[in-house]
Each structure stands twice: as C-alpha cells, then as structure tokens.
Amino acid sequence: MPEIGENVRRILSEVPDYVEVVAAAKARTADEVLQVVEAGIRVIGENYIRDTRVAQSLVGQRAQWHFIGRLREHDVRLATLDLFDLIQSVSSISLAQRIDEKCSALGRRMPVLIEVNSGREPQKTGVLPEAAEDMVRQIASLDNVQVLGLMTMGPLGPSQDLYRPCFEETRQLFIHIETLAIPRVAMRHLSMGTSDTYRVAIEEGANMVRIGSGLFGVR
C-alpha cells in the first residue's frame, strides 16, 4: 500500500520536530505496521496483546512499542509487560499497583502515562483532572513504575469547541504537576490527539500524538 508511506511522510513533514507521532495500529496487520516503520515512524501504539506479538515478530525492535488501549488489571502479566516500552493508559492506582507488582518480578521499571478523563465522560476510563495530582503522587511511591506524563482522549465531535478546552485543561494540569517537582516523576510526554484532532492537540501543547487512519488510511 504505497499510500501508507505517502501518509507518513506528509504527516511527519507537517508536525513540529518536537512532536512524537505514535502510529495507532489498532487491528492493523503486521505488514502495515512494518510499512509505517519503514517510512519513518519510530513508535507503534497497540491496543491488543495478540496483535502486538504478531507485529513484533515482523518489526522487532526497529520501533518502540506503547500500549495505548484500555488495560485491565487481569491482563497485566509478565509476558504482557515485557512487550512494551511504555504504557500510555494507566487509569487507576490499582492498575499501577498491579504493574508495579509484576515489574518487580521482571526486574524493570515501567514508564507510564496517566490517562486523564478530561471530558469527564462517565463511559470512559481515566482519572478526573482534579484527582490527577493525588494519583501521580501515589504512583510515584511505587518502586517499579515511573510517571513520564499524561495522556488524554478528549470527547470526539464535529466541533473543535468540544475538545479544545479538554486539551487545554490537560496541558495546564501537565504544567502544574511539572512545577511540583515530585520525586521520581518526570513530566516528558503530553499525549493528546488522534487522526481527527491532532492538529488542535499540538496547538494546545501536545508533544505526542496518536494517529491511526491518518497514517494507515481508512479501513
């Protein structure tokens, strides 16, 4: 699919150099994942463990691997954690504790982003913005988990007015936590925006965006 390479080159030329483009590879084939990597993508975001194993068998360590989907506590196993360089969707303290427990057995410290439910949507996971600081402080006490920033989805809709305020609030929260200088917390990544919203997310301060159909094409 030559358009994958064209899409990657267009988006990489469009976004600022400081913005990391994560290829959101949900339900994409291993060959498609390989194509985006060969075109210049350095980070693959996966939603499913099985898909990750298949894609890694072809791509290997030519890219970093982030988990960007909903992670349930019972899915946190040694073999699962060993697949990923970073987990973007830590949505609760109990999930972080489970990751900490399993990473202790692996002898590694897992970098994570805290998922913020910036739209305050009851059907979505993630910590509410007003509770995020406390959650970061609690997770910072875990020996085998390191907070490296925040992630948010924001409500999708036809108008930028719906999600721009959510991105703005998450950026302000990111800056606030950064200024606190919490020990063992390094606020490096602000992951906001998808194929439909990444331009606004970058305007509002994102330095990491998760793009699926914009890279791979519409299914």
pLDDT of residue 156: 75
- Tally of domains within the chain: 1
- 130 pLDDT band, cuts 50/70/90, is very high
Would you call 30 helix, strand, or coil by DSSP? helix
In sequence order, the 6+-apart residues with CB closer than 8 A to the CB of 110 are: 81, 84, 86, 87, 99, 100, 103, 144, 145, 146
Identify residue 99 by its one-letter amino acid code. Answer: I
Q: Quick check: 150 and 116 in contact, CB under 8 A?
A: yes
pLDDT at 85 over 70: yes
Lowest mean pLDDT among 1-5, 19-23, 27-31: 1-5
Cα–Cα distances in angstroms (integers) from residue 36 to residues 4, 161, 169, 213, in the given order:
7, 31, 31, 12
pLDDT of residue 2: 72
Q: Give the DSSP H/E element, type plus range, for residue 134.
A: helix 129-140
189: domain CATH number is 3.20.20.10
Closest residue by Cα to residue 212 from 128, 156, 129, 150 = 156
Q: How many CB atoms lie within 10 A of CB 32?
A: 18
Q: How many CB atoms lie within 10 A of CB 31?
A: 12
Per-residue DSSP letter, 127: B
Closest residue by Cα to residue 37 from 17, 18, 23 = 23
pLDDT at 144 over 80: yes
Closest residue by Cα to residue 184 from 150, 152, 136 = 136
Closest residue by Cα to residue 111 from 193, 191, 199 = 191
Max CA-CA distance within the chain?
47
- Mean per-residue pLDDT, 103-128: 94
- Mean per-residue pLDDT, 110-137: 95
Cα–Cα distances in angstroms (integers) from residue 82 to residues 4, 47, 79, 167, 194, in the given order:
28, 15, 5, 31, 26
Could you tell me the pTM of the whole model?
Answer: 0.95
159 lies in which domain range? 2-216
